[in-house]
Chain A
């Protein structure tokens, strides 16, 4: 499971070394807070959620959290390289690099990890409907870009870094 957790952290923060740092800190936090694990919850669902919550927690400590979520395109692209090879799929990598972290993770959890919408929503602390809404918007946008069709205007959905219950009405 460790490579999967590392991939999650990498995609979240957009760079391999930063992902390693986040994963190390999150694992230490998991060890310290392991009593929070509830029987019946998938260990992977819990672990992914803990990494995400740890990232959010660290983000809230910054004076400009939104700036912290910006990623470097070149370093993000390195995630997709094997032993210094060229980018695996430049258009897709560029597309992913332009998405907010939560949307990158939504794609990773559903299409990379194969989670159901409910589990992905539990990890990212949003409703399954929000996961579905993100996937529709992102999938349509990527399909448009890859097929060179004129992109549809972005949907007016406001997303924040904060959990659903703390969020104001859109």
Chain B
């Protein structure tokens, strides 16, 4: 029997050896059944460890997906440890939203007041909600869906590709408005969801101030979108009530 230490065998099983060393170990294993059995035992142990850790992760993902599921009757109900989970999800959502440069608060179709004259200052709005930030963060988090993260950032510079992705998500054919003339640069679009229905968000930035966000949901027909705008350019040149995200056949 050739003497190969557990140290070398574990490194081999973990793929930590150089190619030359790997080949040398494989040659030994071909000729030594005892060592081959030991390697199989190590691989088997690792596979069971991986499966055990996967089982934990599956449980955690079920908890998180239960928290971020579409709301029913306007409230969120978690299955286990509701308050703690909401608090943690709120923190994570706040981190994510801050990193993503979200406008705040979000505008929802059919909810809230009329469009504001200027983009809201995110920090000021967040400060107003400090007492109840977890609830606000959870509400915002509930708008996120798998599709939000599945729209690749690398495609965001391509208007046509973004429009195509939104058309697949919304089931209609949106035309993304170009607001360069109004001083707003297109940054990105993403798919949210509200009440189980997809909600498109298109984000622009002007030279200063918070982001300008356009929102659209599928409306009454197969090619009809309901729109809402949050924020205007500082000169107020967008027509009052003008539909900025439109559907076309």
> Which of A's residues lie within 8 Å of B, judged by CB?
1-4, 6-7, 10-11, 16-17, 20-21, 23-24, 27-28, 30-31, 79-83, 88-89, 92-93, 96, 107-108, 110-112, 117, 132, 135-136, 139-140, 142-144, 146-147, 149, 152
Q: Which residues of B contact A112 (CB under 8 A)?
A: 49-50, 53-54, 56-57
Q: Considering the complex of A and B, which 9 residue pairs feature the smallest CB-CB distances, nearest first?
A: A112-B53, A3-B60, A143-B41, A88-B55, A142-B45, A27-B91, A143-B45, A140-B6, A20-B84
Q: How far is the CB of A38 from chain B (nearest CB, A)?
A: 16
Q: Cβ of B91 and Cβ of A31 under 8 Å apart?
A: yes
Of the candidates B14, B55, B64, the one whose C-beta lies within 8 Å of that of A110 is B14
Q: Cβ of B41 and Cβ of A111 under 8 Å apart?
A: no
Q: Cβ of A142 and Cβ of B49 under 8 Å apart?
A: yes
Q: Cβ of A11 and Cβ of B56 under 8 Å apart?
A: yes
Q: Cβ of A132 and Cβ of B16 under 8 Å apart?
A: yes
> Which of B's residues lie within 8 Å of A, judged by CB?
6-7, 10-11, 13-14, 16, 38, 41-42, 44-46, 48-64, 80-81, 84-85, 87-89, 91-92, 94-95
Q: Cβ of B60 and Cβ of A143 under 8 Å apart?
A: no
**Closest A residue, CB atoms, query B94:** A31
Q: Which residues of B contact A147 (CB under 8 A)?
A: 41, 44
Q: Cβ of B84 and Cβ of A21 under 8 Å apart?
A: yes
**Closest A residue, CB atoms, query B65:** A3
Q: A2-B64, A27-B88, A142-B48 are in contact. List 19 more A-B contacts (CB 8 A).
A: A2-B60, A2-B92, A3-B57, A4-B57, A10-B56, A31-B95, A80-B52, A83-B62, A89-B52, A89-B55, A108-B53, A111-B50, A112-B54, A132-B16, A139-B6, A140-B6, A144-B41, A146-B41, A152-B6
**B contacts with A: majority SS:** helix
Q: How far is the CB of A148 from chain B (nearest CB, A)?
A: 10
Q: Cβ of A81 and Cβ of B59 under 8 Å apart?
A: yes
Q: Which residues of B contact A11 (CB under 8 A)?
A: 53, 56
Q: How far is the CB of A115 from chain B (nearest CB, A)?
A: 11
Q: Cβ of A88 and Cβ of B51 under 8 Å apart?
A: yes
Of the candidates B11, B56, B85, B94, the one whose C-beta lies within 8 Å of that of A132 is B11
Residue picked from B7, B48, B59, B89, most chain A C-beta under 10 Å: B59
Q: Which residues of A contact B50 (CB under 8 A)?
A: 111-112
Of the candidates A80, A110, A117, A135, the one whose C-beta lies within 8 Å of that of B56 is A80
Residue picked from A4, A21, A142, most chain B C-beta under 10 Å: A142
Of the candidates A6, A28, A31, the one whose C-beta lies within 8 Å of that of B60 is A6
Of the candidates A4, A7, A146, A149, the one whose C-beta lies within 8 Å of that of B48 is A146
Q: Cβ of A111 and Cβ of B46 under 8 Å apart?
A: yes
Q: Cβ of B64 and Cβ of A3 under 8 Å apart?
A: yes
Q: Which residues of B contact A31 (CB under 8 A)?
A: 91, 94-95
Q: Cβ of A24 and Cβ of B87 under 8 Å apart?
A: yes
- 23 residue pairs bridging A and B, Cβ less than 8 Å apart: A2-B60, A2-B92, A3-B57, A3-B60, A7-B60, A11-B53, A17-B84, A27-B88, A30-B95, A82-B59, A83-B62, A92-B48, A93-B52, A96-B52, A108-B53, A110-B14, A117-B16, A132-B7, A139-B46, A142-B49, A143-B38, A143-B45, A147-B41
Q: How far is the CB of B66 from chain A (nearest CB, A)?
A: 11
Q: How far is the CB of A136 from chain B (nearest CB, A)?
A: 5
Cα-based distance from A139 to B44 in the complex (angstroms): 10
